[in-house]
Amino acid sequence: MKMNNNYDVIIIGAGSVGVPVALFLAENDFDVLVIEKKASPGQGQNKKAIGGIRATHSDKAKISISQESIEVFSTWQEKFGDDIEWETNGYSFPAYTVEHEKMLKELLEIQQNFGLNITWVSKEEYLEIAPGISSDGLRGSTYSPEDGSASPYLSLNAFYFKSKEYGADYVFDEQVISIKKQSNFLVESDKKSYEAPIVINAAGNNARKIGKMVDLDIPVQPDSHEGGITDGVQRFFYPMIVDLRAGPGSKNYYFYQKENGQIVFCITPEPPIEGTDSRATSVFLPQVSKRMIDLYPRLKNLKVRRTWRGQYPATPDGFPILGETRSKGFILGVGMCGQGFMLGPGVGKLLTRLLTNKLSVDDKENLDSLSLYRNFGGEEKFK
């Protein structure tokens, strides 16, 4: 720790975004401090993520950020030795309705135009990819074999320890209570105060609260999702399976089988449940079990080991909010809408280029489209 508490950059939040941002800034010789209110890194929503990582989004900015993330995840072990359980197990969106088939095929064209490896597989082909999945009404599926998965907490811990090697400082169990703009930002926690010319808001669920400290209204509203993990069994399928259909009280749900045989799953409630209550509800397990077994009858004998509830820090249009603000030096890495883990390293790289004045033309376009000052009227088709 530095004695005078003066830093180049202060990052608020040691989660999916804050830690990789600290990593790449520290790697580029910035003096970085990360302030986290919990006891260790990744104890907010990062550990609630199920670990899926894909580039197959519907818009250019998220696609390019994710491609950069995948580069980081997929080469990490080779570069640094830590096993973060990265695997290119692919993503699939099986279609069981005409509308979904049409929507997915339209999107597929856009995605292919961005150079993504995504194809349409027939019903028969898909039944080989996911043996035993319900063939009732199955019309085929998208399949993007280069998407993948990694362990959110092993990745985040690897980024954390590496960032400390590069010189990043962290304080835990400290909550930011005010930010004052003088010549620099004066960031006060419930224990100490710190100073830096640049502050990065990576506060996840608390992004809006932190924004208010510098008079910014950041439209991030957390909504809750519940997820779970099963016992390990021999592997019988690889890709993430996303069922886009709606059910009673829910929209889509998705799951995949990890290398150790455990299946991780998560469902999107409808209507959304706003707020940050993370206690388990009695609704989740019957709801998700019924839907998963209906899709994949084989799952009925699989034991649920643990469940949890976490939040998507959501924005009105479903896209993240990144980059500079009218409060000069106050930078945003917020509103990840449940994709903070997969976008984190890409965001870290992008914000590092922003602070080192190395933005490309594409970067600038991407930041414009994700700016706080954009029109939030659009909608992400593929949340």
Partner 1 sequence: MNRIKNHPILEETQAAKVPFYWNDKKMFAKKGEMLASALIANGIKIFGHHAKDDSPQGIFCANGQCAQCTVIANGRPIKSCMTPVEKNMMVEPCEGLPELPNIDVKPEFKEISEIETEVLIIGAGPAGLSAGLELAKNDTSIIIADDKMDIGGKLVLQTHKFFGSTKDCYAGTRGINIAKKLVADIADFSSVKIWNNSVVLYIFSDKKVGILRDGEYCLVKPKIVLNAAGAREKMLPFPGNTLPGVYGAGAFQTLVNRDLVKSSEKVFIIGGGNVGLIAGYHALQANMKVVGLAEALEKCGGYKVHHDKLVRFGVPIYTSHTVISASGEEHLESVTIAEVNKDFQPIGGTEKTIKCDTLLIAVGLDPIKEFEQEAAKAGMAYFSTGDAKEIAEASSAMFDGKVTGIKVAKKLGKTEKEIPAEWSEKAEILKSPPGKTYSHYSEIQKEEGVFPVFHCLEEIPCNPCISVCPFNSIKINSDSILGLPSFEGKCIACGKCLTVCPGLAITLVDFRKGDEKPVVSIPFEFPKYKVEKGDKVTVVDIDGIQLKKVKVVKVQEREKQTKIIQVKATKDIAKKIAGIQIQDPKVCKPLAETLLPKISDDTIVCRCERVTAKEIRDWIKKGVTDMNQLKQLTRAGMGACGAKTCENIILRMYKEEGYDLDDITRNTRRPLFIEVPLGDFAEDKSKKE
> By the criterion CB under 8 A, which residues form the site for partner 1?
38-43, 47, 131-132, 134, 136, 153-154, 157, 172, 230-236, 260-261, 277, 279-283, 285-286, 289-290, 292-294, 297-308
Cα 77 → chain centroid: 20
CB atoms under 10 Å from CB of 270, counted, come to 13
**Shortest Cβ 234–partner 1 spacing (Å):** 4
Q: How far apart are CA 260 and CA 290, in angstroms?
A: 24
Most distant pair of Cα atoms in the chain: their distance: 66
Task: Assess contact for 373 and 216: CB atoms under 8 A.
Answer: no
Give, in order, the Cα–Cα distances in Å from 27 to each of 82, 348, 353: 17, 11, 12
**Shortest Cβ 338–partner 1 spacing (Å):** 19
**Shortest Cβ 38–partner 1 spacing (Å):** 8
Task: Assess contact for 213 and 343: CB atoms under 8 A.
Answer: no
**Shortest Cβ 334–partner 1 spacing (Å):** 23
Task: Assess contact for 165 and 183: CB atoms under 8 A.
Answer: no
Residue 296 identity (one-letter amino acid): Y
Between 21 and 299, whose beta carbon lies closer to partner 1?
Answer: 299
Q: What is the DSSP string of 4-34?
A: S-B-SEEEE--STTHHHHHHHHHHTT--EEE
E strands within 129-168? 141-144, 148-149
